[in-house]
């Protein structure tokens, strides 16, 4: 990337023409960088760009020698909208269920200059962009008036070096990245996406109240960041992440006894409980829709086809529940909750009020984590073959509570032992999650069967297939239940206790 010179873009292209480059007519171009909200492509070292000039072309760079190009009718939103073949095959596992959203859109006038050899083969290209603008952002102060990019072609490094030397000789200043990087930097746009980590930097000796407030403020940031995508139902991860941030907030509030003021804690526990409940039905149906293929595929093509009306019913209910959730998220109650909560979290006048609020967060967090572990182990040990499923659900909540504490107060501990312990806990959580999903979905399917029985378009084949699916879900549930004792025994060990102690004894690195 080259910027900054007293010369105009026309001077540059004239100089390129004098050096033997073929200079094409300028064209308006619109370049949009797409990524998931949480920057999955960026994290995977990939870069997906939509170039409209005026046809639509998708360009996928990173993870290889040169970019892949494909024409597209529309800007893709989901992995399934990407052109079939290797392009989709590379992106689909990274995107999973996440939607592609525009990170930054640059509009410009583009002039391409190509240097060719005697056979007419391109050896190097120079792209000059002027009239640069960032769509949706006006008056970006540091935006360069124009920028030039040298396109290096595999096997023609010398030609590219020659083009760079030419630009330097004209007084242009070389920099890193391409025109999108330059513009995004000038506009203050982070190409890495929303990180959404629940972990904040903490010092062990700092007072617990301040630490709790920082943890809760960070979680509130995640709720706020995921609000728009949830309301617009962009992809299921927005709701998932919003819901998890709410659950984490509830967990931290619950653990904030004698740390947070009782009136504040009681009020917001109730309000976040309401918000959590509002997100439940839509999320359950999201999971159902995501898991649907894995549920029905083992039943065979015939049963899958017969179950189409059920999927349509689930999708319709999912849509209705999302609409209800969007209403809740736009309600006065939600606005009041968030505004009041933010005000309290950001209020510099909030003082410690006795109890544990002035205690060192290192000690307070260790106590809470220790108690959460004891509660989890105590409940798990009491579960026998005949114990009702509700107890497993409660145990799942205990496990989540412990996990959330370790994540939210993770800034106190070293990452390696924390990761090692979480792996142990996750193995138990996976089993409890499979059990819960199968239980909930089998129950929902029984309810749907009753609703659909006798309705138009639902014949005997569908009812039979629903019976098969219910049985299959029941088998899944039973298999998770059968596996539970073994999974819990693997968790309830000396090694696990030692692993947790190692976390609590570990100190966060200097970066914390």
User: Is residue 162 close enough to count as binding other proteins by CB under 8 A?
Assistant: no
Q: How far is the CB of 178 from other proteins (least distance, A)?
A: 16
Cβ 129 vs Cβ 108: under 8 Å: yes
| Two structure tokens written together for 502 | 């190692």
Q: Which is nearer to other proteins, 117 or 312 (CB)?
A: 117
H-type helices in 207-330, by residue range?
A: 208-231, 236-254, 262-296, 301-306, 308-329
User: Is residue 83 close enough to count as binding other proteins by CB under 8 A?
Assistant: yes
Q: How far is the CB of 160 from other proteins (least distance, A)?
A: 11
Treating both helix axes as pointing N-terminal to C-terminal, what angle do 208-231 and 308-329 enclose, rounded to 10 degrees?
Answer: 130
The candidate with the shortest Cα–Cα distance to 425, out of 386, 447, 398, is: 398
CA quadruple 262, 408, 420, 294: dihedral positive or negative? Answer: positive
Q: Which is nearer to other proteins, 83 or 355 (CB)?
A: 83
Q: Which is nearer to other proteins, 69 or 335 (CB)?
A: 69
| Two structure tokens written together for 223 | 């709720």
Query: DSSP letter at 299?
Result: G
CB burial of residue 248 (10 Å; 0-12, 13-18, 19+): buried
| Two structure tokens written together for 397 | 């909540």
Q: Which is nearer to other proteins, 114 or 180 (CB)?
A: 114
Q: Which is nearer to other proteins, 87 or 288 (CB)?
A: 87
Cβ 111 vs Cβ 9: under 8 Å: yes
Q: Which is nearer to other proteins, 81 or 342 (CB)?
A: 81
Q: Which is nearer to other proteins, 94 or 239 (CB)?
A: 94
The H or E element spanning position 35 is: strand 27-35
User: Is residue 73 close enough to count as binding other proteins by CB under 8 A?
Assistant: no
For other proteins, the binding residue among 2, 21, 156, 212 (CB under 8 A) is 156
User: Is residue 345 close enough to count as binding other proteins by CB under 8 A?
Assistant: no
Contact window for other proteins (CB under 8 A) among 28-36, 66-74, 179-187, 190-198: 66-74
The H or E element spanning position 174 is: strand 173-174
Q: How far is the CB of 62 from other proteins (least distance, A)?
A: 11
For other proteins, the binding residue among 58, 182, 216, 307 (CB under 8 A) is 58
User: Is residue 157 close enough to count as binding other proteins by CB under 8 A?
Assistant: no
Q: How far is the CB of 110 from other proteins (least distance, A)?
A: 15
Residues 221, 346: Cα–Cα separation, whole Å: 12
CB burial of residue 440 (10 Å; 0-12, 13-18, 19+): middle
User: Is residue 86 close enough to count as binding other proteins by CB under 8 A?
Assistant: yes
Q: How far is the CB of 57 from other proteins (least distance, A)?
A: 9
Largest Cα span, the chain: 87
Question: Where in 88-147 is the site for other proteins (CB under 8 A)?
Answer: 88-90, 92, 117, 119-122
Q: How far is the CB of 413 from other proteins (least distance, A)?
A: 35
Residues 47, 100: Cα–Cα separation, whole Å: 12
Q: Which is nearer to other proteins, 64 or 102 (CB)?
A: 64
CA quadruple 218, 220, 223, 226: dihedral positive or negative? Answer: negative
Q: How far is the CB of 48 from other proteins (least distance, A)?
A: 11
Contact window for other proteins (CB under 8 A) among 18-26, 63-71, 167-175, 488-496: 63-71
User: Is residue 21 close enough to count as binding other proteins by CB under 8 A?
Assistant: no
For other proteins, the binding residue among 33, 34, 68, 200 (CB under 8 A) is 68
Q: How far is the CB of 89 from other proteins (least distance, A)?
A: 5
Residues 144, 136: Cα–Cα separation, whole Å: 17
Return the residue matching tokens 């030397």. Answer: 165
Across 369-476, where does the E strand assignment appear? none
Contact window for other proteins (CB under 8 A) among 56-64, 206-214, 407-415, 439-447: 56-64
For other proteins, the binding residue among 1, 16, 60, 103 (CB under 8 A) is 60
- Written as one string, the DSSP assignment of 129-168 is EEEEEETTB---TT--SEEEEEEEPTT-HHHHHHHHHHHH
Contact window for other proteins (CB under 8 A) among 9-17, 67-75, 162-170, 433-441: 67-75
Q: Which residues of the chain form contacts with other proteins (CB under 8 A)?
A: 58, 60, 63-71, 83-90, 92, 117, 119-122, 153-156
């Amino acid at each position: 990337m080259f910027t900054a010179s007293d010369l105009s873009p026309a001077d540059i292209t004239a100089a390129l023409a004098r050096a033997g480059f073929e200079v094409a007519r300028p064209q308006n171009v619109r370049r949009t960088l797409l990524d998931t909200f949480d920057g999955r492509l960026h994290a995977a070292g990939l870069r997906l760009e939509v170039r409209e000039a005026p046809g639509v072309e998708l360009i996928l760079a990173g993870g290889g020698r040169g970019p892949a190009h494909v024409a597209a009718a529309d800007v893709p939103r989901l992995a399934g909208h990407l052109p079939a073949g290797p392009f989709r095959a590379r992106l689909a596992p990274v995107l999973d269920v996440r939607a592609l959203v525009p990170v930054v859109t640059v509009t410009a006038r583009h002039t391409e200059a190509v240097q060719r050899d005697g056979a007419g083969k391109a050896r190097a290209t120079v792209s000059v962009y002027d009239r640069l603008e960032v769509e949706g952002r006006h008056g970006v102060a540091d935006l360069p008036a124009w920028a030039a990019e040298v396109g290096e072609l595999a096997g023609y490094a010398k030609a590219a070096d020659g083009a760079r030397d030419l630009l330097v000789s004209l007084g242009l200043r070389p920099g890193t990245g391409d025109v999108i990087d330059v513009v995004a930097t000038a506009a203050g746009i982070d190409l890495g996406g929303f990180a959404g980590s629940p972990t904040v930097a903490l010092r062990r000796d700092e007072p617990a109240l301040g630490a709790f407030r920082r943890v809760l403020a960070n979680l509130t940031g995640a709720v706020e960041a995921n609000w728009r995508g949830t309301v617009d139902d962009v992809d299921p991860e927005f709701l998932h992440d919003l819901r998890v941030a709410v659950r984490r907030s509830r967990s931290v509030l619950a653990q904030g006894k004698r740390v947070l003021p009782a009136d504040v804690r009681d009020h917001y526990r109730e309000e976040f409980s309401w918000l959590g409940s509002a997100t439940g039905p839509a999320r359950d149906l999201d999971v159902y829709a995501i898991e649907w293929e894995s549920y029905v595929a083992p039943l065979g093509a015939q049963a899958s086809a017969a179950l189409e009306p059920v999927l349509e019913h689930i999708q319709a209910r999912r849509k209705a529940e999302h609409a209800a959730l969007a209403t809740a998220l736009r309600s006065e109650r939600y606005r009041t909750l968030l505004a009041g909560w933010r005000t309290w979290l950001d209020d510099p006048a909030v003082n410690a009020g006795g109890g544990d609020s002035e205690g060192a967060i290192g000690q307070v967090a260790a106590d809470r984590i220790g108690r959460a572990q004891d509660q989890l182990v105590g409940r798990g040990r009491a579960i026998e073959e005949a114990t009702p499923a509700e107890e497993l659900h409660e145990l799942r909540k205990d496990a989540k509570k412990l996990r959330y504490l370790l994540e939210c107060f993770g800034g106190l501990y070293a990452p390696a032992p924390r990761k090692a312990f979480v792996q142990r806990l996750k193995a138990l959580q996976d089993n409890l999650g499979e059990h819960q999903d199968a239980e909930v979905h089998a129950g929902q399917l029984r309810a749907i069967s009753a609703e659909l029985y006798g309705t138009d378009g639902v014949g005997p084949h569908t009812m039979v297939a629903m019976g098969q699916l219910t049985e299959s879900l029941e088998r899944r549930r039973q298999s998770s239940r059968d596996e539970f004792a073994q999974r819990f025994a693997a968790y309830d060990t000396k090694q696990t206790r030692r692993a947790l102690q190692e976390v609590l004894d570990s100190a966060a690195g200097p970066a914390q």
